[in-house]
Amino acid sequence: FGFFAIRPTIGVIIGLQRSIAEQQTILQQLQTKIQTLDTARANLQNINPQTTSKMDSLLPSTTELNPLIEYLNSLAKTANASISALQFQPVPLTSIQNKTSTNIQDLDLTFNLQGNFTSLLYVIENLPKGPRLIEIQNLNLSRTNSNSLILSVNAKAFFIKP
């Protein structure tokens, strides 16, 4: 009779011991996460300001069309080429504050370059090396009546949508 009287108490004790073991495992995992986050915070604070500036330039928080257009014009001018028909696909020009998530967005752009083969090659080689993250999607080369070349470029520039 004594065993049946203390049986529920033994069941509660065993259940509590399991719960304590599970809670200790969870506590250890949380402490590991805290250490990892502290390390990440320290690493973030130790980033060189020049690196941070470059990252902000490569992936701005808005579309920042003016610096992108200036870079394309400068690159073409350096190569003795000319840009025409520069088009951007519709995107919001101002940032809308949404603090729930941060994700990388792309900005589709299309433009034509006119010049000789060497100048067009220079632009294409240096386009991804600039201050903005740009990915070339498609190139189409054609010859004009005046023996110059026209290169149609489809590309994506990236930015972080806040």
143 is written with which tokens? 């010859």
Task: Judge whether 128 and 136 are in contact, CB under 8 Å.
Answer: yes
Q: How confident is the model over 72-122, as pLDDT tens digits? A: 999 999 999 999 889 988 765 555 554 445 588 888 999 999 999 999 999
Task: Indicate whether 162 pLDDT > 70.
Answer: no
The average confidence (pLDDT) of the chain is: 87
| DSSP-derived secondary structure letter, 132 | S
Radius of gyration of the CA atoms of the chain, in A: 29
H helices within 46-156, ranges in order? 49-58, 65-78, 117-126
CB 153 within 8 A of CB 100: no
pLDDT at site 155: 95
Residue 68's pLDDT band (boundaries 50, 70, 90)? very high
Question: Does the structure show a pLDDT above 90 at 12?
Answer: no
